[in-house]
Structure 1
């Protein structure tokens, strides 16, 4: 029999669409629920204690309502802070998001890598661990930007963007000692691949960008291998913890990702 249980993707905003998109390509029959904690957005400027308490509570409510077969925490900040808490609270598979430092190190020729994330993510000891394990021979330069999260959200709402804003964000990496040698940048926030073209255009020299989306999609496919799916995924659902005018302006972008229905949590 077909199993209609959805995949549930969770983020503070719409950045997790950069993870949902490759998963949708690999698993086109999968029913989808995308949950955004718009009432708590953005996570990158919140305290770790607040995120560690808020995320498991919200995912518990979402799991009760939508009965997902698997949850993806499509947010680097939430994953680096709350992943263990969520796994302890819920008895279903949980996939987290981590900065793609390993593939960045494999790509870098100059052995200088930029890590672009939120303030909360780039300061995490977990990032230190990844750098030590996978990029020990590289210089790893970090920069946290809440502004870039807002720019990505604005792009999906169809608002005009100023290229100078992306130049300013990238200057936070390239102006640091050794920054002129960066040849690979890790988009360590799921929002940032949504504005990768704008970042590439603003970079002072050609750089490669990497993110965790494709790897997460492969992990989801592996964990659900052999499971039954419905003949059609049906109408995808986008659920927000606060509905306002900014959410209504996201409707076309959500529909383009297969999320035609919008609900409130």
Structure 2
């Protein structure tokens, strides 16, 4: 048993979609969340920049005595998690686009992947994609511009919907029946996406799977928390209002951090 916190980092508010799934499954775990919004979006940065930021975030969370770190960012996972696992002595949970379930369950044999440039261009993503691409048309789309809009709280704005129409209509026209969300910011767009795609299109994100994997690792290593009142500290290195807005229904502390 361990009451040390779970650490979570993302390029901004998107990873809160992962944190919420973890909290729902593991309500007694303490947590510390780092939103590196000043450097969002990671998906438009070079692999070296993404690695450097991931190292910086990891070392901050380790200084807070975190027992496990969730890399709640697809781009950081695909570009940095191998290095992090090889160089730090804590378990890491990563996020990958859920191509496998989409490919295995697609009846039209056509799936869409909406992700950032940094994820789509990574070696890990391409390896995963190739593993499940036989007989499947995988339509990859860079969601350029979506992360800044979500960070600004403009989930339901006209600009957001216009971008989604531009990105999703070609997938719809090719007969997509599964849409994989390859960025942890994108689950916040699901209500808007549902208004655009046909009702038969299954929308898949990784939140529940990541929460289950986190639970499995904590139990395997015998570092799960006992029954207790949990505490949750959130940090943002930009104006923390946007982060607070995504957490209104939760008893958490949100502070600005000069980081």
Q: Distance in 2 between matches of 1:39 and 1:16?
A: 15
Q: Distance in 2 between matches of 1:61 and 1:15?
A: 19
Task: State the SS of the aligned residue for 1:34.
Answer: strand
Structure 2 gaps of 5+ residues are none
Match of 2:35 in 1: 36
Match of 1:24 in 2: 23
CA contact under 8 A between 1:51 and 1:78: conserved in structure 2?
A: yes
Pair 1:235-2:234 in alignment:
no
Distance change in 2, residues 1:179/1:125 (3 Å): farther
Q: CA deviation at 1:179?
A: 4.5
Task: State the SS of the aligned residue for 2:145.
Answer: helix
CA contact under 8 A between 2:7 and 2:66: conserved in structure 1?
A: yes
Task: State the SS of the aligned residue for 2:108.
Answer: coil
Pair 1:248-2:241 in alignment:
yes
Q: Distance in 2 between matches of 1:57 and 1:143?
A: 29
Q: CA deviation at 1:231?
A: 3.6
Q: CA deviation at 1:248?
A: 2.2
1:154-185 per-position Cα deviation (integer Å, ceiling 9, x unaligned)? 33xxx573356324334324326x85211111
Q: CA RMSD in A?
A: 2.1
Q: Distance in 1 between matches of 2:159 and 2:196?
A: 8
Pair 1:199-2:193 in alignment:
yes
Calculate the TM-score normalised by the size of structure 1. Answer: 0.88
Calculate the TM-score normalised by the size of structure 2. Answer: 0.90
CA contact under 8 A between 2:16 and 2:246: conserved in structure 1?
A: no
Distance change in 2, residues 1:260/1:129 (3 Å): same
Q: Distance in 2 between matches of 1:253 and 1:53?
A: 27
1:101-148 per-position Cα deviation (integer Å, ceiling 9, x unaligned)? 001112211010100011111122322221221232210000111322
Match of 1:52 in 2: 51
CA contact under 8 A between 1:237 and 1:261: conserved in structure 2?
A: yes
CA contact under 8 A between 2:5 and 2:29: conserved in structure 1?
A: yes
Q: Distance in 2 between matches of 1:92 and 1:259?
A: 24
Distance change in 2, residues 1:80/1:258 (3 Å): farther
Task: State the SS of the aligned residue for 2:52.
Answer: helix
Q: Say which is worse superposed, 228-237 or 22-31, in terms of deviation.
A: 228-237
Task: State the SS of the aligned residue for 2:134.
Answer: coil
CA contact under 8 A between 2:79 and 2:124: conserved in structure 1?
A: no
The ranges of structure 1 where at least 4 consecutive aligned residues each deviate by more than 6 angstroms after the TM superposition are none
CA contact under 8 A between 2:151 and 2:242: conserved in structure 1?
A: no
Task: State the SS of the aligned residue for 1:250.
Answer: helix
Task: State the SS of the aligned residue for 1:92.
Answer: coil
Superposition map of 1:1-265 within 5 A: 3-64=2-63, 66-155=64-153, 159=154, 161-163=156-158, 165-175=160-170, 179-203=173-197, 206-225=200-219, 226-240=222-236, 242-244=237-239, 247-264=240-257, 265=259
Task: State the SS of the aligned residue for 2:141.
Answer: strand
